[in-house]
């Protein structure tokens, strides 16, 4: 069974491994651990907010194979894009 859940700080190393395996050109999952850690912090802060109006929130998710507890993919939602706030 697959579980789609929010990403957690404990997932960062595994997500980085996925980024390493994905190679060059996958701009949504760069092979840059500092950048990924920054995204993780932004996601965690976004999930903690009580949103009245979307701003710069970023929500990061993982797809976990529950039979092996392995993360096999990621997805994200940016609350707003294309605007200078």
Per-residue pLDDT tens digits of the chain, which is 85 residues long: 999 999 999 999 999 999 998 876 667 788 899 999 999 999 999 999 999 988 889 999 999 999 999 999 999 999 987 766 5
Please give the structure tokens belonging to residue 71: 């993360």
**Which long-range CB contacts under 8 A does 22-30 form with residues at least 24 apart?**
28/76, 29/74
- H or E stretch covering 71: strand 70-78
Distance CA 60, CA 4 (A): 11
pTM assigned to the model: 0.87
Neighbouring residues of 42: CB distance < 8 A, sequence distance ≥ 6: 56, 57, 58
């Amino acid at each position: 069974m697959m579980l789609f859940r929010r990403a957690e700080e404990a997932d960062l190393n595994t997500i980085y491994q996925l980024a390493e395996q994905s190679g060059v050109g996958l701009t949504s999952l760069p092979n840059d651990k500092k950048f990924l850690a920054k995204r993780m912090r932004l996601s965690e802060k976004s999930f903690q907010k009580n949103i009245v109006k979307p701003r710069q929130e970023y929500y990061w998710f993982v797809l976990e194979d529950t039979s092996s507890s392995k993360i096999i993919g990621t997805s994200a939602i940016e609350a707003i894009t294309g605007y200078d706030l």
